[in-house]
């Protein structure tokens, strides 16, 4: 596939009030895209929107709680009405907790899956429905591009993060399945697999985890969100199935999948070095 010219194309991004979502919105605007951003905290969204406007970008802001199906569909409908037919959607909203897996209540498990997975499914379903309404593209061109912000943890069940890992694995499997199911319709689908990223995600995780073991907050090998954002825009320009920002992590997790005992050794070693006493 030839390189996609992003100038003037529209993209909708969830979870864009901070972190990876905010950085990606700014980077998409730098690439000339029209951007619709959403999150629950509209005051934070306005700050992101102002950054985009200062660089001459086009942006619209919407409140959206992705744990509510109706709000997901409303966001996509309003976004396309404001900035034009969507070329891209980046399902990025999500959160994590660090707690013993069996101590999480049913409602806590359901809440995380509802936001991280169901919110992704609803946003993608709404966006794809609109992409399907677009005219048949010229030979070699794409009708649209779906990106799902999964995680490196989608490839491994992390201790004290089982619900988060499971939700990210659900996203990963959904993206892979859709990549094949939508190929004949010329809709590209990519999953994004960040490693630990320097955002407020970890601050929120600690606040939401009264029994945190420090496995996440003690991680000092964090990448900036702008690195993920640049990788996402690169994928929009030249679509590929998976987006990784750490080749070493990708290789290690691939080996861990092929050799589970190696994965168990690595996880146990990490826990010994990072868990609070």
Which residues, in sequence order, are bridge partners of residue 38? 62
Rounded-to-integer distance, Cα 197 and Cα 203, Å: 12
Annotated active-site residue in 95, 160, 164, 270: 164
List Cβ neighbours of 244 (8 Å cut-off, separation of 6 or more).
Answer: 152, 193, 231, 250
d(CA 219, CA 254): 21
The token pair that represents 37 in the structure block: 């951003």
Beta strands 34-39 and 144-149 are: unpaired
Is residue 95 part of the annotated active site? The answer reads no
Backbone dihedral region of 60: left (phi > 0), alpha (psi from -120 to 50 degrees) or beta? beta
Phi and psi at residue 62, to the nearest 5°: -140, 140
- The single-letter DSSP state of residue 217 is T
Are 118 and 94 in contact by the 8 Å Cβ rule? The answer is: no
**Residues near 197 by Cβ (< 8 Å), separated by ≥ 6?**
19, 20, 222, 223, 224, 225, 227, 228
**CA 232 – CA 229 distance, rounded (Å):** 5
Which residue from 5, 45, 46 is spatially nearest to 21, judged by alpha carbons?
45
Residues designated as active site: 164
């Amino acid at each position: 596939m030839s390189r996609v010219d992003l100038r003037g194309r529209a993209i909708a991004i969830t979870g864009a009030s901070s972190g990876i979502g905010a950085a990606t919105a700014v980077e998409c605007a730098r690439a000339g895209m029209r951007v619709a951003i959403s999150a629950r905290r509209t005051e934070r969204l306005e700050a992101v929107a102002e950054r985009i406007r200062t660089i001459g970008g086009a942006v619209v802001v919407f409140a959206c709680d992705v744990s509510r199906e109706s709000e997901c569909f409303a966001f996509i409908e309003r976004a396309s009405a404001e900035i034009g037919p969507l070329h891209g959607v980046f399902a990025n909203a999500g959160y994590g907790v660090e707690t013993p897996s069996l101590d999480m209540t049913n409602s806590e498990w359901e809440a995380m899956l509802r936001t991280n997975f169901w919110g992704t499914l609803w946003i993608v379903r709404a966006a794809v429905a609109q992409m399907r309404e677009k005219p048949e593209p010229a030979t070699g061109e794409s009708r649209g591009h779906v990106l799902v912000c999964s995680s490196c943890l989608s490839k491994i069940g992390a201790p004290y993060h089982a619900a988060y890992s499971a939700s990210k694995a659900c996203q990963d499997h959904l993206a892979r399945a859709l990549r094949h199911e939508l190929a004949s319709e010329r809709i590209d689908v990519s999953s994004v697999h960040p490693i630990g990223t320097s955002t407020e995600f970890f601050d929120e995780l600690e606040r939401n985890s009264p029994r945190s073991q420090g496995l996440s907050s003690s991680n000092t090998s964090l990448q900036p969100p702008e690195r993920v954002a640049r990788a996402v825009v690169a994928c929009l320009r030249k679509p590929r199935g998976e987006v990784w920002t750490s080749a070493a992590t990708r290789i290690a997790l691939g080996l861990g999948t092929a050799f589970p005992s190696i994965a168990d050794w690595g996880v146990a070693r990490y826990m010994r070095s990072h868990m609070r006493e």
